[in-house]
Amino acid sequence: MTGRTVVATPGGAGDAPGADAALGRMETELAMLTRTLEGMSRRSTLYRDLDRASYVLARTLATEAPVSINGLAELVGLDATTVTRQIATMEAAGLVRRKRHDRDRRVSLVELTALGRRRMAAVRAARERRIDDLVADWSDDDRATFGRLLGRLNESIRTRPPHGG
């Protein structure tokens, strides 16, 4: 017994041959992954000093800053009002600072502070240790393939409009 919960797919798609079986398997595995990650997140102290939403912004700012709120929103796939609120929270915590654009004083640019960089780096290192532990028995090729396919899935999610279902 593996302790793994199996979720039945409606209409038995998980039992169908070919592409339907693959689609059913992907749907089931993504549902299980979502549930597992949500549970892990609730039990984790990983985001104690930098919440998950701030972490994503900080990771982006670490490589793209200084950047405008609109530019940051576009990079992370969120609307500017959501990013503005999150940046205000991060600014109050001393994790980011705003500065005026040299050529267009109406535009505010955002960048990480030293504290923001330290907290982002600490969360990143802890996340990488956790992932490394989870895939410790995977081959280098499997790790590379999974990373590539996960990136491809993320790109598909970012570039395709959501459906109603």
CATH code at 47-158: 1.10.10.10
Question: What's the confidence (pLDDT) of residue 165?
Answer: 53
* Residue 147 tokens, joined: 């990373």
Domain extent listing, the chain: 47-158
pLDDT one digit per residue (tens) for the chain, 165 residues:
445 544 454 444 445 567 789 999 999 999 999 898 888 877 777 778 888 889 999 999 999 989 999 999 999 989 999 999 999 999 999 999 999 888 887 888 999 999 999 999 999 999 899 999 999 999 999 999 999 999 999 889 888 877 765
User: How distant, in Å, are the alpha carbons of 9, 59, 97 from that of 110?
Assistant: 45, 13, 6
Report strand pairing: 67-68 vs 108-112. Answer: antiparallel
